A and B are shown apart, each in its own frame.
Chain A
Amino acid sequence: MEYITPFIPALAEAFLLVMVCAILLIDAFLPDEKRWVTYALTMATLFGCFLITGFTDWRGEIYTFSGMFVADPLANMLKLWIYLTVAIVLVYSQAYIRARDMFRGEFFVLALFSTLGMMVMVSANHMLTLYLGLELMSLSLYAMIALQRDSATATEAAMKYFVLGALSSGMLLYGMSMLYGATGTLELTRMAEVIASNDADSTILMFALVFVVAGLGFKLSAVPFHMWVPDVYQGAPTAVTLFIGSAPKLAGFAFLLRLLVIGLGAEYLVAQWQWMLIIMAVLSLAIGNITAIAQSNLKRMLAYSTISHSGFLLLGVLAGGNGGYASAMFYVIVYVLMTLGTFGMILLMSRAGFEADKLDDFKGLNARSPWYAFLMLLLMFSMAGLPPAVGFYAKLSVLWAVVDAGFVWLAVLAVLFSLIGAFYYLRIVKLMYFDEPVDRSPITPTVSMRWVMGANGLSMLVLGILPGGLMALCEYSIVLSLR
């Protein structure tokens, strides 16, 4: 028994797993017209997880399962956001997948499995669990993309994602095996101790670091490991793109912090990976923002925008210190909210047999529905980083951390590239407000979608005016978790 105690910190994972298995069984016996039961059960599961994680002990780090699992405020906080994100994704996707014959039990089951993978990643303290969580998440995502079997582009996207994902996992594993060779342990906190006591061979650690950072770069879609992002984002069904673009970023952020900051946080290693991250961040900001201008497909444009946003995320992490990590965490949460809203708008305007994924589809949205045009305006302002939307504060806090760390030139570069990026976000605002609509069909969202979309759009404004609470939460969880 001593190997699985204390069990309570992992209760949310256990609950989720039991519920997924139950849903899998129940769904097999449901006729097609009762498929909403699966949907309701999925939502109930996420809500249950939310309650369990919300009421666990938030005060410190609890290690369990022989040190492989850690429940600290960072993990708990990110888990809560992951549940919320997945729930919003499912609300947004509902009408879309119904119209495309994807409203099947597998969609929900795979989404929950993927969520489980993210939870495992977020509270991993061992490279084995880190990697297994990553694979659980990614494998479910590959299958979700390919779920639309008759679409050639979706199959192609799934294949590309799968092959490049396997390649990056290979790099990551190679790096991890090197780390194991150098330190003799897979447990992140122990690894940090071994490195701190100078028992590990520094050359091998550097060698491993290159592979690990390259693997992480793939997963975080940072340049030069970004080739898969545009094709996957564009090819996947929009509902799945929404999923890929949102919740996994939270888990990826945790992965980055756990591996680089907790595991490889020794001073001479930080000096090494800081420079690798600087190169990746600058390239991501440059290529992401400049290439996005040339895109006419909104999903593809948002893919490049993701690349530039991961550049900002890396900036926060490389700035270091609790301020830097907290700003990166704030950034990634805000980014996920913005992505949810923007892809949500594409889903909202799509209908059976029609994808609203071209820029032209947003022409004259104001004339068709002033309310949704306003929400999209808020989202685009936030993406571009204009006040009063929250994107401004998120970018500002990251830049602050970067300047504090002594990289003024880096902050200047980031601002310049964001200015370039503002162009293509504002172009959408221009299309919505100053152009004539091409397509005048009415927008008919479901009731739940209407409310969640409204809340999501307005959260950009509310968080932008009052960012203090969320920022304080981020700082609290970072300070308590990374010491």
Chain B
Amino acid sequence: MAELNFQTFIFYAFSAVLVGAAVGVITSRNPVHSALLLVLAFFTCAGLWIQLQAEFLAIALVLVYVGAVMVLFLFVVMMLDINLEKLRKDFWSYLPVGGVVAVLLVLEMGWILWSHYSADGILREEPAPKPADYSNTKELGRLIYTVYVYPFEIAAVILLVAIVAAIALTLRQRKESKYIDPARQVKVRRADRVRIVSMASEKKQD
């Protein structure tokens, strides 16, 4: 057990909040609360990463996941009319099986990690701390554009596929569409819209 200095205290505090928030995500009855708890989980996780000197990942997590993905999620959750009763109906019947699997997985992983990493002391060796002016972001950027340029390009292609697929699957011309072509709208002349009819004047009828 490491001595309880301020850093370990922060670590345990963040971890406790993280685990609590994660449990809350799956147990809370209101999907909006679930989404907000997930945001909390992301924030605390980012805090943990900062402690590990992975500040770029922490910032990306907050900016991308909290700032963009979760906000989108919240929108979706609020706009969809999710029938919670229907979703929850089978919760208790699936719980035993899911619980057994989860417990088994945790026990197995715990056993392996405990028996091997703690004995060998692989995890005990702390990496040497980096100097204060060391920039994680710069190092990542350097690696991405040099050593990892090939996978980086492929990841970019995957994003392109996502765009193509999203457009192909959702864009369709609706028959009842009220779309107006701006070019035609600009070119319209008075004669196309207004027809002047000459009529004989009539006397007002009482």
Contacts and interface: CB of A to CB of B under 8 A. Distances in A.
Contacts of A204: 112, 116
A149 B170 CA distance: 9
A184 to B, nearest CB: 10
Interface in B142-189: 146-151, 153-155, 157-158, 160-162, 164-165, 167-169, 172
A110 B164 contact: yes
Contacts of A142: 165
Nearest to B162: A139
A129 B154 contact: yes
Interface string A239-263: 0000000000000000000000000
Nearest to A127: B151
B149 A149 contact: no
B120 interface: yes
A68 B150 contact: yes
Interface in A107-121: 109-110, 113, 116, 120
Given A3-B146, A203-B112, A143 B161 contact: yes
B139 to A, nearest CB: 15
Contact of B112 (A68, A140, A207): A207
Given A132-B158, A203-B116, A204-B112, A143 B168 contact: yes
A140 B154 CA distance: 13
Interface residues of A, number: 35
A464 B124 CA distance: 61
A263 B154 CA distance: 22
Contacts of B162: 139
Given A104-B168, A113-B157, A3 B151 contact: no
B164 A129 contact: no
Contact of B149 (A4, A110, A116): A4
B124 to A, nearest CB: 15
A189 to B, nearest CB: 16
B205 to A, nearest CB: 57
A201 B113 CA distance: 11
A136 B154 contact: yes
A116 B160 CA distance: 13
A113 B164 CA distance: 10
A201 B164 CA distance: 43
Interface in B12-32: none
A69 B150 contact: yes
A66 B169 CA distance: 37
Given A4-B149, A68-B150, A24 B158 contact: no
Interface string B114-128: 011000100000000
Contacts of A471: none
A136 B159 CA distance: 9
Contacts of A132: 151, 154-155, 158
A366 B160 CA distance: 47
B150 A129 contact: yes
Interface string A12-49: 00000100010010000000000000000000000000
B118 to A, nearest CB: 12
Contacts of A149: 169, 172
A3 B148 CA distance: 9
Nearest to A17: B157
Given A140-B165, A147-B168, A201 B116 contact: yes
Contacts of B161: 110, 113, 136, 139-140, 143
A65 interface: yes
Given A110-B164, A207-B112, A65 B157 contact: no
A109 B154 contact: no
Given A109-B164, A110-B161, A204-B116, A65 B169 contact: no
A147 B168 CA distance: 7
Interface string A313-338: 00000000000000000000000000
A275 to B, nearest CB: 19
A133 B150 CA distance: 11
A106 B168 contact: yes
A66 B164 contact: no
A415 interface: no
A113 B112 CA distance: 40
A129 B155 CA distance: 9
Contacts of A203: 112, 115-116
A72 B156 CA distance: 25
A157 interface: no
B168 A3 contact: no
Nearest to B147: A66
Nearest to B115: A203
B104 to A, nearest CB: 13
B169 A146 contact: yes
A139 B165 contact: yes
A106 B164 contact: yes
A270 interface: no
A65 B148 CA distance: 8
A128 interface: yes
A65 B116 CA distance: 34
Given A113-B160, A113-B161, A143-B168, 20 more contacts: A3-B147, A24-B164, A66-B146, A66-B147, A66-B150, A68-B150, A106-B168, A110-B161, A110-B165, A110-B168, A128-B148, A128-B151, A129-B150, A129-B151, A136-B154, A136-B161, A143-B161, A143-B169, A201-B116, A204-B112
11 contacts: A3-B149, A4-B149, A113-B157, A113-B160, A113-B164, A132-B154, A136-B161, A143-B161, A143-B164, A143-B165, A143-B168
For the complex of A and B, 6 pairs with smallest distance between CB atoms: A143-B165, A106-B168, A65-B150, A132-B154, A66-B147, A3-B146
